[in-house]
Structure 1
Amino acid sequence: MSTQPTPALSRSLWSRLGTREPTLTRGGFLRAAAAGLFATGAAGSLAACGAADSASGGGFTYASILPFDTLTFIPEMMGTAGGYLSDQGVDMKVEIARGTAQAMQTVLAGKAPVVRPSMIDLATARTTAKQPLVAIGTVMRGPSVVLNYAKNDALDDPTKLVGKTVGIPSKGGTSEQTLLLMLTDAGVDPDDVKRQVVGQSPSTWELVRRGQLAGFISGIDVSLIIQSQYDDAAALDPGKYSSIQSTTQIYVTTEDAVQKQADKLTGFLSAIRASMQAVIDDQSRAKSIQTLRKKYHFATLDDDAIAKRAFDVYVDLWTTQANGRKLLETDQEKWVAGIEKLQKLGYISGVSKPETWMTNDLLKA
């Protein structure tokens, strides 16, 4: 087993940079997502009154799907550690939810004005549960997860996954969504690829080395750690094969909050945009890394080489495919096309006026 750092990541990532759970069909996937996100029909009325209550309160609560121990949250962490949020008068408190479902429910209940899920999470909420959620900014313009695999069994093309088992961190979550959409867009029937729920950590790599998994989906941080430790590790970038925009990450709030908390949300988005721009301008990333280390400490941030690689990958995700759009600005044409393609593929149904599910009005010029 090699413990020498690998000199480079796979080309696709760099260019943008055990109990088996039942296999989900497209219909089953939709039902599972809807059941997980919105367990009761009462959430709509709860959201309406909750948002109004929070509008009059002080502070700003950010509903996070994960703890701030991953560089996925560079914009939010820079906003805090770099003082960009306080510059906008935003006193941000972070409420850690147990995944996307709970975080979105926190926003619907009015306990927090903003959450950062994927586009498909919002699409499912709007079509299946009829929830009044709206996107107010696009953070990641491509998938923020990758498929880790061993070089001796190269999975550098989705068609090579047929008949194999892929590890996912949870059933119906963003990672599985990304995998299913990549397979569908590549012409592969998702039912021909088995999925098994596994831990999203470097230790899962051992299951790949033993041949128990063909590969597993993880966040970029975990993949970078694995590739720094094992020279037989590589990663497939789903964005190379999928043109679907639904795996982009977006800031989401309620329609009610857009009206009643516009100033707070505008201040938050302005701070996040300033944080992102500061990182972009810091081409060596050294100053940005040191800024985060004043407040945060975790594996990928504490390693200079991995942190630099991660910053580069995330900056690319913020800026590629922007088509001239400013940071956080959502491309309405691509947004509508992505929603309509999801419906055509059968992942959602009942789409009506998807252009009203997003707005750039809270972004300062």
Structure 2
Amino acid sequence: MNRRSFLGAAAGMAGALMLPAAGVVRAAPGGKFTFLTPFTLSLAFAPVLYASASGKFKAQSLDLRVEVGRGAAQVVQLAAAGQVNAGRTGAANYMSARAQGNSDVVAFGTIAQISPFVVVSAERAPIADAGELAGKIVGLASFGGSMEATLNLMLVHAGVDPTSVRRERVADGPASFAMIEAGRVHAFFGNTSTVSRLRAQKLAISVMHADDGVPGQVYVARESELAANRDAYVAFTRGVVQAVRELAAMDDAALMQAIALMGDAFDIPGIDKADIALQDLRGNRELWLSHGAEQAVRNDPKQWQEGSKLLLDAGLMRTTDRKLYTNDIWESAVA
């Protein structure tokens, strides 16, 4: 199956904690609802992949297509251009773009309530505090996206001039650790999936969680699309919430079955390594459930208010009267 284009597949797994069913929806021209990930498929995107593979979207009459993007910034750009129906991106990057006033893209759900990013360094020269990044070379999978926005916010909070930190483009994966060992970078940004793969290789890594104080990862779409195709977005959100709640209730044996189901439907690199995949899914699950299963995918108003204040104080976002998020779709999905 082509990694650049994946079709949602249905399977016959019955779901617990099912939400109300919806009627037939209309999505993009051609009948498909296109969802864009910021990077290569991984179990970080399990809420969408499992919802598709277990037939939840099909039960909502939603024909989902998953596309792989080239960075979080591209997700906002393609959603704004109407090239995709919805996508996942970092909240800090999105909030800054939204405040610019030149795009009607809005967040209609928060999937990772806290940042999924980590800063990986060598155990022999660990970076345990954002202040230690001053004057260092940091690897990023993409520039101008959510990783870089998180890095800048961390540096400002630590009193470090962001311009003092040099950025290098690296792959988000184990190969980047070789660049640390070679002295080309001092650390690089990764996520839960990255850490699982690195530890499986028994590499001597040090991991620092990138807590930047803003919502982690959000689902975005054009406001005009949310209004025109509202039922499709309600169906999408309902399927994702169902998936998160089911995965939350699973023990390790059930999680392994869910991983196998997703692996049959999608080309997910590294999913054949069972122990790594299980650790990866467990780690990502914590991000979706940090506010509880009943609040999964909901935008937390208090968190958004505090997060926007942090970005404003750090000079990473301009003042705006535009709404940064909507819970209208989520409320209809779980009603």
TM-score (norm 2): 0.84
The letter of the residue matching 2:97 is A
1:102–1:197 CA distance, 2 compared to 1 (3 A):
closer
Name the residue aligned to 1:290. 260
Q: Structure 1 or 2: larger helix share? A: 1
Contact 2:157 2:314 in 1 (8 A): no
Residue 304 of structure 2 corresponds to which residue in structure 1? 335
Residues in 1 aligned to 2:199 and 2:28: alpha-carbon distance in whole angstroms: 45
Question: Map of 1:271-310 to 2, 5 A cutoff?
Answer: 271-284=239-252, 285-310=255-280
Q: Could you tell me which amino acid in structure 2 is paired with residue 359 of structure 1?
A: T
- CA shift at 1:347, angstroms? 0.7
Taking the aligned partners of 1:232 and 1:191, their CA distance within structure 2 comes to 29
* Count of paired positions: 305
Gaps of at least 5 residues in structure 1 are 1-52
Of the structure 1 ranges 163-172 and 309-318, higher mean CA displacement relative to structure 2 is found in 163-172
Q: Equivalent residue for 1:9? A: none
Q: Which amino acid aligns with 2:36?
A: A
Is 1:357 the counterpart of 2:330? The answer is no
Give the Å deviation of 1:299: 4.0
Cα deviation, residue 323, structure 1: 6.9
Unaligned runs of 5+ residues in structure 2 are: 1-25
Q: For residues 101-120 of structure 1, what are the structure 2 equivalents within 5 Å?
A: 101-120=73-92
Q: For 1:306, give the aligned amino acid.
A: I
Is the 1:54–1:111 contact (alpha carbons within 8 Å) kept by the matching residues of 2?
no
Q: 1:211 to 1:122 in 2, by over 3 A?
A: closer
CA shift for structure 1 position 317: 0.3
Contact 1:54 1:110 survives alignment (8 Å): no
Query: Is the 1:340–1:351 contact (alpha carbons within 8 Å) kept by the matching residues of 2?
Result: no
Residue by residue, what CA displacement relative to the aligned partner does 1:66-99 show, whole Å, maximum 9, x if unpaired? Answer: 342x112111110111111111111101233333
**Per-residue deviation at 1:263?**
0.6
In the alignment, residue 256 of structure 1 is paired with which amino acid? S
* CA separation of 1:132 and 1:298: change in aligned 2, threshold 3 A: closer
AA aligned opposite 2:329 = L
What TM-score comes out, normalization by structure 1 length? Answer: 0.77
- Cα-Cα RMSD: 2.2
Deviations 1:190-217 (A, max 9, x none): 2332222223231121121123321111
Identity of aligned residues (%): 26
State how far apart, in whole Å, the 2-side matches of 1:112 and 1:258 are.
12
Distance 1:232 1:191, change over 3 A: same
TM alignment of 1:1-365, pairs within 5 A: 58-68=31-41, 70-239=42-211, 242=212, 244-246=213-215, 248-284=216-252, 285-320=255-290, 322=291, 326-353=295-322, 356-363=323-330, 364-365=334-335
Deviations 1:280-326 (A, max 9, x none): 11121222222212223444321111111111111100111x27861
